[in-house]
Amino acid sequence: MALDAGRVDEAARLLPTLLQSHPDHPEVRRMHAGLLGMQGQLQPAIALMREVIRHHPGHAPGLNTLATLLGQAGDFDGAIHLLREVCRLQPEMALAWYNLGVMLTRCVRNEDATEALQQAVRLDPHAVDARALLADLLRMRGQSEEAAGIYRQVIAERPWAGMAWWGLADLKTVRMEESDILGLQQALRAPRASDDDRIAMGFALARALDDHGRYAQSLQALEQANAIARKRQRWNAAGYSQAVDALAGFFTPPPAAATAPRLGEQVIFIVGLPRSGSTLAEQILASHPDVEGSGELPDLPQVLAEESRRRGQPFPRWVPQMQPADWQRLGERYLERTARWRSSRPRFTDKLPSNWIYGDAICAMLPGARIIGCLRDPLETCFSCYRQKLDNNEYTRTFDDLASFWRDCDRHLHRLAGAYPDKVYLHHYEALIAEPEQRTRDLLSFCGLSFDPACLNFHENQRPVRSPSAMQVRQPLRRDTVHSARYGALLDPLRDALGLPRWQDETSA
């Protein structure tokens, strides 16, 4: 029950007694692996579950747990394979169908995901998480009213359903009401609410309070939600910064790239911090008749992970061993995995923000590709990340961690642009807002695309968009996107962390 509720400390206190009395019981070991996964110890958790499955190969709950852990570790292919096996072994297991829907969604296989989620709901009409995720898929297609209706239905049945509350708040085009604030405050006290529910509801409450101008209370709600999440895992800012700098060393000087210099010219990578304007950049490019907007694809990390497994070394330790033919092989593997995105248009976007860390590898394995590094005002970017429920992005939990991560990304992107000037373009959000047509022309020109007026009318593009900015990019370009000024001096701790001047109220100066 503690694990189901996401209460890591309580589960960690209770589990040792079971481990001592029943050390080989598959359910006890499965719970142990689940706890390790929640604590961020994914590789030990996966190893433990693989051992359990070796002894109990048909143990469907164990296969489901292993699949979930693989998904947390980014191995979506492996997770989907196992979950399909679970659904074969126990076709009445609604949770397995839901988890399959989650993994398919993360792979941008939305039609397959919808079928899996609908099966989960058929088996369990009260599967609120599956229903909320189906509403998310509606939101991706721009059907905000239909999505809001489903979120409201779920909340009426289960007032503490965190995913539904956050889905409703994240529509952004829907203003939260005073009654929503009261409902959220009451639901946060519900004994049956899990920590996951409380995290999601905390972010939703912060959004609702922001809608009503109650900024200090909104920040307090965010701090409480992030504190719950931080109990599970803490971000190692210093260690990550060292890893980013070490990574640069493996690619200095840049290695000899793939043997075919035009390999990858079909793909445009869009990278940077979340909330830095990457979805807008993709929407502009995807409005060009030659470009398919594919969203956040997991394929690049998967290809690099495959090579790590093949060589028995983590990335980037195997980089010095790579020859041009090896990079060529990886580039061809990536293009093989992403072939479906070129079925109707010759170019496609890959907008996984975290791919900035792999910029050097992209240039080596896909020398014909283009990389768009999205940059936005650091205060706006970091504050927007802090306000957004970003799963598995533990650097967003504190201002200090956010500032450190922003510096790592900014430093890395500028290094990439200097090392590969013909392949990496730094796209500034504020510059786009100030000069939409010129900056759009510059972006298209860098990608080798002719100018098309449709790119200025990107908001008319009704393609599915799975990102927190899904509803905004269906509206004309806005100039009033600066949010931090509303909070004034309340954000001085974040300004301090970023090394920015403190707030000065110009009206009283």
pLDDT at 391 over 60: yes
Assigned domain for 499 exists: no
Residues 113 and 156 in one domain: no
The reported pLDDT for the residue numbered 141 is 79
Element (H, E) at 425: strand 424-428
How far apart (Å, rounded) are the C-alpha atoms in residues 251 and 319? 8
Instruction: Give 235's contacts (C-beta < 8 A, 6+ positions apart).
Output: 394, 395, 397, 398, 401, 405
Q: Which of 1-10, 179-188, 300-309 has the lowest mean pLDDT?
A: 1-10
pLDDT at 306 over 50: yes
Assigned domain for 438 exists: yes
Query: How far from 251 is each of 46, 59, 82, 164, 410, CA to CA, in Å?
Result: 30, 44, 35, 44, 17
Token pair for residue 204? 């939703």
* Model pTM score: 0.86
Q: Quick one: angle between helices 128-140 and 144-157, nearest 10? A: 170
Residues of the chain above pLDDT 70, percent: 95
Assigned domain for 504 exists: no
- Which has the closest alpha carbon to 417: 425, 408, 409? 425
Total domains in the chain come to: 3
Is the torsion defined by CA of 120, 124, 130, 132 positive or negative? Answer: positive
Token pair for residue 283? 């929407």
pLDDT at 311 over 60: yes
- Of 63, 90, 120, which marks where a domain is finished? 120
Task: Give the pLDDT band (50/70/90) at residue 221.
Answer: very high
Residues 136 and 81 in one domain: no
- Which has the closest alpha carbon to 141: 169, 105, 101, 90? 105
Whether 271 and 301 have beta carbons less than 8 Å apart is answered as no
Asked if the peptide bond before residue 274 counts as cis, ω within 30 degrees of 0, the response is: no
- For position 136, which CATH number holds? 1.25.40.10
pLDDT at 468 over 90: no
| pLDDT tens digits along 319-341 | 999 999 999 999 999 999 999 99
How far apart (Å, rounded) are the C-alpha atoms in residues 29 and 327? 40
Residues 175 and 88 in one domain: no
- Of 76, 98, 120, which marks where a domain is finished? 120
Assigned domain for 486 exists: no
Residues 338 and 473 in one domain: yes
Task: Give the pLDDT band (50/70/90) at residue 508.
Answer: very low
The reported pLDDT for the residue numbered 97 is 97
Assigned domain for 503 exists: no
| Mean pLDDT over the full length of the chain | 92
Residues 48 and 159 in one domain: no
Residue type, 80: I
Residue 213 sits at the vertex; the CA angle it makes with 209 and 219, to the nearest 5 degrees, is 55
- For position 432, which CATH number holds? 3.40.50.300
Residues of the chain above pLDDT 90, percent: 82
- Of 120, 154, 182, which marks where a domain is finished? 120
Residues 248 and 277 in one domain: yes
Token pair for residue 101? 């829907």
| pLDDT tens digits along 58-82 | 889 999 999 999 998 889 999 999 9
Assigned domain for 485 exists: no
Q: Which of 5-14, 147-156, 380-389 has the lowest mean pLDDT?
A: 5-14
The reported pLDDT for the residue numbered 466 is 54
| pLDDT tens digits along 67-125 | 999 998 889 999 999 999 999 999 999 999 999 999 999 888 988 999 999 999 999 99
User: Which SS3 state, helix, strand or coil, does residue 291 take?
Assistant: strand
Token pair for residue 398? 């504190």
Residue 110 sits at the vertex; the CA angle it makes with 376 and 148, to the nearest 5 degrees, is 70
pLDDT at 415 over 80: yes
State which residues form the domain around 33. Answer: 1-120
Task: Give the pLDDT band (50/70/90) at residue 232.
Answer: confident
SS3 for 216-282 is: HHHHHHHHHHHHHHHCCCCCCHHHHHHHHHHHHHHCCCCCCCCCCCCCCCCEEEEEECCCCCHHHHH
| pLDDT tens digits along 251-274 | 999 999 999 999 999 999 999 999
Residues 93 and 143 in one domain: no
pLDDT at 467 over 70: no
What phi and psi values does residue 207 have, to the nearest 5 degrees? -65, -45
Task: Give the pLDDT band (50/70/90) at residue 461.
Answer: low
Assigned domain for 22 exists: yes
Query: How far from 223 is each of 39, 187, 220, 230, 396, CA to CA, in Å?
Result: 20, 18, 5, 10, 11
Task: Give the pLDDT band (50/70/90) at residue 5.
Answer: confident
469 vs 315, more confident? 315
Q: Quick one: angle between helices 60-72 and 76-89, nearest 10? A: 160
Residues 219 and 206 in one domain: yes
pLDDT at 177 over 50: yes
Assigned domain for 382 exists: no
| pLDDT tens digits along 341-386 | 999 999 999 999 999 999 999 999 999 999 999 999 999 999 999 9
- Which has the closest alpha carbon to 277: 400, 102, 443, 423? 443
How far apart (Å, rounded) are the C-alpha atoms in residues 55 and 232? 29
Residues 258 and 273 in one domain: yes
pLDDT at 417 over 70: yes
What DSSP line would sit under 132-178, residue for residue? Answer: HHHHHHHHHTT-HHHHHHHHHHHHHH-TT-HHHHHHHHTTSSSPPPH
The reported pLDDT for the residue numbered 348 is 97
pLDDT at 286 over 60: yes
What DSSP line would sit under 333-382, residue for residue? Answer: HHHHHTGGGGSSSSEEEE--GGGGGGHHHHHHH-TT-EEEEEE--HHHHH
The reported pLDDT for the residue numbered 509 is 40
Task: Give the pLDDT band (50/70/90) at residue 402.
Answer: very high
The reported pLDDT for the residue numbered 506 is 55
How far apart (Å, rounded) are the C-alpha atoms in residues 257 and 504? 50
Residues 31 and 60 in one domain: yes
β-strand partners of 271: 373
Residue 75 sits at the vertex; the CA angle it makes with 69 and 80, to the nearest 5 degrees, is 80
Residues 111 and 251 in one domain: no
Task: Give the pLDDT band (50/70/90) at residue 487.
Answer: very high
The reported pLDDT for the residue numbered 488 is 95
pLDDT at 469 over 60: no
Residues 312 and 394 in one domain: yes
